[in-house]
Amino acid sequence: MAFELAPLPYAHDALEPYTSSQTLHLHHGKHHQTYVTNLNNLTKDSPLATLTLEEVVKATAGKADQQGIFNNAGQVYNHNLFWNSMKPQGGGEIPAALEAKLIADFGSVATFKEAFTQAGLTQFGSGWAWLVLDGGKLAVTKTGNADTPLAHGKTPILVADVWEHAYYVDYQNRRADFLKVFLENLVDWNAAAARLASA
């Protein structure tokens, strides 16, 4: 069974004015699609082709001879979660259970948002800012390139893509502006709460 590009969970223009239709066409239809195509080419006729995406990520993590497979599998997985970390008319009120957990583990929602923003800003070059569940506690982390918390035994709850192609059409080099908009106007707190509840 070949790996497939998961459709966006909303229309290409649904996140405007915060993320443009042009960005989603390029980011999802070109970048994400390329990772899926590469992954299929790299795993074709191999035992990995029979695994789930998550299993491929875990099976190839840290293996130098399978770095290309890991890079593409990681990028497919990370992007799948990124699209589902946002929604039209995002932001707003955080579900009670998630809010309580953020306050318990970070001290306040504001402290979490500051830590998440700093993770995104201080990720040098391409990468990701994450909210993860690690040993029963919520934590913020960042990963470079295609790396993912899934490969390190952590459960991803929320992610922002800080590769330049995620924001450059709309924000040029203003990564801080994109991260602010992500947390205020794009983030799908309900999806994050559901992932926490099922973790």
**Does residue 30 carry a pLDDT above 80?**
yes
Place of tokens 């082709």: 49
pTM of the model: 0.97
pLDDT band with cut points at 50, 70 and 90 for residue 1:
low
pLDDT value at 164 more than 90: yes
- Selected from 3.55.40.20, 3.30.1330.60, 1.10.3720.10, 3.30.70.2860, the CATH number assigned to the domain covering 96-198 reads 3.55.40.20
What order of strands is seen across the sheet that includes strand 127-134? 137-144, 127-134, 155-161
Could you report the per-residue pLDDT of 115-148, keeping only the tens digit for each? Answer: 999 999 999 999 999 999 999 999 999 999 999 9
Q: In CATH, what is the architecture of 21-83?
A: Orthogonal Bundle (1.10)
Query: Residue ranges of the domains in the chain?
Result: 21-83, 96-198
Give the distance, in angstroms, between the CA of residue 193 and the centroid of all CA atoms in the same chain: 15
What is the C-alpha R_g of the chain? 16
Q: What percent of the chain has pLDDT over 90?
A: 99
